[in-house]
A and B are shown apart, each in its own frame.
Chain A
Amino acid sequence: MKQWFVLFNKEWLEILRSYRIIWLPIGFIVLGASQPIATFFMPDILASAGNMPEGAVIRIPTPQPFEVMAGALSQFGVIGLLLVALSGMGAISGEKASGTAAMVLVKPVSHVSFVTAKWAALLLLAVLSFAAGYGAAWYYTASLFDSVGWGEVVQSALLFALWLGFVGTLALLFSSLLRSAAAATFGALATAAVLSIASSSLPFEQSWNPGRLSGLAAESLNAGAASPGDGQGAVWLTVIVTATAMLAALAASARSLKRMPSND
C-alpha cells in the first residue's frame, strides 16, 4: 500500500508538472459556463444575425433550467471526453516506448499497482475537473435561469462521472495495448462513441450498456420525470456492469504490461 502511494504521488506530480492540473479543470469550467451563457443569449444572437425579414418575431421558448444543465452535459460528453482522453494520452504506451516502464518494473513493483496508480490519478483529475465544470454550469444556470435541485444535480453528476471514468479507463487500456498514443486515444473515443450511439439508437433494451450513462445523467436532472430510464433497478445494473468492465480493463492492462513491459 505504501508503494502504491509512492506510485500515485509520482503520477500526481506529473499531472502538476505537465500543467494538466490547470488546463483540464479550466477546459471543463469554460465548457460548463459557456453552455448556459450561450443558451441565454441565443435569441439575441439570432436577432443580430440580421437576415431576418422585417418585423419577424423570433419566439424561442425559454428552456427549463434542467435542459440547460443537460446541454452542458452533452458538451462534456463530446469535448470533455476528448479532453479527458487526451489528458491520459500515452499514459502507458509512452512509458513503454521510452523505457521508463521497464526502469520501474525491474524494481519489486507490482504491475497491478503500476496500472492502478496511474488510473487513480487520471480519474481523480478527470472527476475534479468535471466537478468544477459542472459546478460552473450549475452556478450560471441558476444565475441566468433558475436553480436546479441538489439531489438531481448530484445524482446526474455521479452517473456522468462514472461514464467519464469508464472512458478514462478505456483510454488507459488501449494505451497499454497499442503502441501509438494517438491510436489509443482514438480507440477509446471510438469505443465510447459506438456504445453511446448504440444506447440511443438501437431499438432494444440495453441496461447493460455503459454508453447509456450520459443519457441517464441528463434524464436524472429532470425532477418531474418519475425515475430515469426504465427504473432504478436498470440504472443499478448499468452501474454494476460499467464498474465490472472497468475492473476487467484494469486487469487486462496490468496483464499486458506484465507480458511486455517495453516495446523492444
Chain B
Amino acid sequence: MALLTVDRLTKRFEGTLAVDGISFAIGEGRCVALLGPNGAGKTTTIRMLTGLLQPSSGAIRLEGMKPGQDLRAWIGYLPQTPAFYGWMTGREFLVYAGRLCGLSAKEAYARSDELLARVGIGAAGKRRISGYSGGMKQRLGLAQALIHRPKLLILDEPVSALDPIGRREVMTLLGELKSETTVLFSTHVLHDAEELCDDVLIMSAGRLAEGGSLSGIREANRQPMMSLETEGDSRSKEWLEGWLKRLPAGFEAASATPAGARLIVRDLETARRTVIRELADADVRVTKLEVGYTTLEDLFLKAVAHS
C-alpha cells in the first residue's frame, strides 16, 4: 500500500523548472533513496513534501489523511544542515519540538530522553547546543524529526556534511530506523542508497529518470559488460582510440574511463574471444580485462547523462 503518493509535482522558479512534473509512490515501511547529482531538484522536491515550499502544481497525498488535515503532523524532517537555538540545551530543543507536535509535557520529556539516548548523545542533552559538533547536531536533528513518531521520515542529504566516522554512525542509525518507519532520504552518493534502501528514485534535471525497487532496477538493467584498461603507453592508446571508432558487431555502447573503456556487449562469450584475439594481434599492453555485468553505477551515470 502506498503511504505517500506524489502526482505530477512541479516547481517553477522565475522561468526555470526546478522540478518538472514528477510522479511516484512510496510504500508503507519502505526505505527510499532519492538519488541524483547536485542540482537535480532533490531538495526542492523534499521541501515541497515537507510543506516548506508551495508546489507550482501537482498533488501530494498521504494515505489515511483526511482532506484539510495538516500534512506536517505526519512527517518528520531533517534538513541538510539542521539549525537550532544555540542558547537551548539539546534536551530543551527536543521537548520544545515535541510539545509543538502536540505531546504533553510529560510525554515530551520521556520521549526526549529516550531519543537522546537512542541517537547517542544522552550525556550531552543538558549542554547548550552552541557547543555541539556537526555530528552531534545531525543526531539531534534526527531525534527532533522522530519526536512525534512520524509516519514518514524525510532526510535531506543526512550524511553528506559529516566526516567518515560521523557518516558511519549516522548510517548505522538509519539502518536501525528503517525497520520502524517509512524513510525517504536524498543523496548524491549511490553507495549510500545501495547500502540502506529498498527502493530508489533517480532524479536528473528536475525529472524522474528511473524509479523502482533496487533489486528490480538492478535486474532489469543488468547487461553483459566488459571493462578494458591498458598501461597507457602511446601505442596502446592509439590502438584503443582506433578500435573504439570501428567497434565490431556485438559491442553496443562504450564509455571511456581514465585508463581504458567500458563496453556493453551483446554476447559475453563471443565478445571475450574477439577482444582477446584483437589484443594479442595488436600486441596491446593490457593491465586489466574485466568481464561481468553492469552495476547500478553504470545505470546511474547513464540515467543522469541522458537527461
Contacts and interface: CB of A to CB of B under 8 A. Distances in A.
Does chain A touch chain B in the assembled complex, meaning CB atoms less than 8 Å apart?
yes
Interface residues of A, number: 22
Interface stretch (A6-14, A43-51, A233-241): A6-14
A100 B101 contact: no
Interface in B78-95: 79, 81-85, 87-88
Contacts of A59: none
Contact of B72 (A7, A13, A14, A107): A107
Interface string A5-49: 011001001100110000000000000000000000000000000
Given A259-B54, A262-B52, A107 B100 contact: yes
A243 interface: no
A90 interface: no
Contact of B73 (A17, A103, A108): A108
A106 B82 contact: no
A108 B72 contact: yes
Interface string B38-61: 000000000000111010000000
A109 B50 CA distance: 12
Given A6-B100, A7-B100, A99 B52 contact: no
B109 interface: no
A109 B100 contact: yes
B77, B88, B99, B148: most-surrounded residue (chain A CB, <10 A): B99
A99 B82 CA distance: 7
Contacts of A262: 52
Interface string A91-112: 0000000111011111111000
A99 B144 contact: no
Contact of A106 (B50, B87, B88): B50
B131 interface: no
A261 interface: yes
A102 B79 contact: yes
Contacts of B81: 99
Contacts of A17: 87
B52 A102 contact: yes
A263 to B, nearest CB: 11
A38 B189 CA distance: 69
Interface in B154-177: none
Contacts of A244: none
Contacts of B54: 259
Given A14-B85, A17-B87, A18-B87, A106 B77 contact: yes
Given A10-B96, A108-B101, A103 B52 contact: no
Chain A at the B interface: SS class:
helix
A170 B148 CA distance: 35
User: Chain B at the A interface: mostly helix, strand, loop or mixed?
Assistant: loop
Given A3-B102, A6-B100, A108 B87 contact: no
Contact of A102 (B75, B83, B101, B102): B83
Interface string B139-156: 000001000100000000
B70 interface: yes
A131 B210 CA distance: 65
B271 interface: no
Contacts of B51: 105-106
A3 B101 CA distance: 8
B23 to A, nearest CB: 23
A106 B83 contact: no
B79 A99 contact: yes
A5 B81 CA distance: 28
B265 interface: no
B97 interface: yes
B264 to A, nearest CB: 40
A107 B97 contact: yes
Contacts of B102: 3, 108
A118 B82 CA distance: 21
Contacts of A261: 52
Interface in A241-264: 259, 261-262
A97 to B, nearest CB: 9
A239 to B, nearest CB: 34
A8 B51 CA distance: 23
Given A99-B79, A99-B83, A105 B101 contact: no
B100 A3 contact: yes
Interface of A: 3, 6-7, 10, 13-14, 17-18, 98-100, 102-109, 259, 261-262
Interface of B: 50-52, 54, 70, 72-73, 75, 77, 79, 81-85, 87-88, 96-97, 99-102, 144, 148
Given A98-B83, A100-B85, 15 more contacts: A3-B99, A3-B100, A6-B96, A7-B100, A13-B88, A18-B87, A99-B79, A99-B82, A102-B52, A105-B52, A106-B75, A107-B100, A108-B72, A261-B52, A262-B52
